[in-house]
Amino acid sequence: MNKMKPDVATREIVGSKVRQLRKLAGLTQEETAGRCGIFRTYLSRVESGTANPTISVLAELAMCFDVDVRELFRV
């Protein structure tokens, strides 16, 4: 059985949630990155689960989507 490391699984959960929230808001990656003050390429890496975003970036993303930061960790 192929088990993911907890940090990889968490990054994928967060990335998936960020993508979902962005699409629900009808925003492109470029628009979202601009609103959150991050690079579009970094946002792409967050969404794909390859970046390990800082607490500050997670807080900024949550603020941009008007959700509690804990929402980013919910499946």
The CATH code belonging to domain 6-73 is 1.10.260.40
Residues 5-43: pLDDT tens digits?
A: 778 899 999 999 999 999 999 999 999 999 999 999 999
pLDDT of 66 over the 70 cut:
yes
Helix (H, G, I), strand (E, B) or coil at 12: helix
Q: What gap in Å lies between CA 71 and CA 75, rounded to an integer? A: 9
Amino acid identity of 38? I
pLDDT for res 3: 65
pLDDT for res 2: 52
pLDDT of 71 over the 70 cut:
yes
pLDDT for res 1: 44
Alpha helix stretches (DSSP H) within 25-54: 29-36, 40-48
Contact predicate 50/11, CB 8 Å: yes
- Break the chain into its structural domains and give their ranges: 6-73
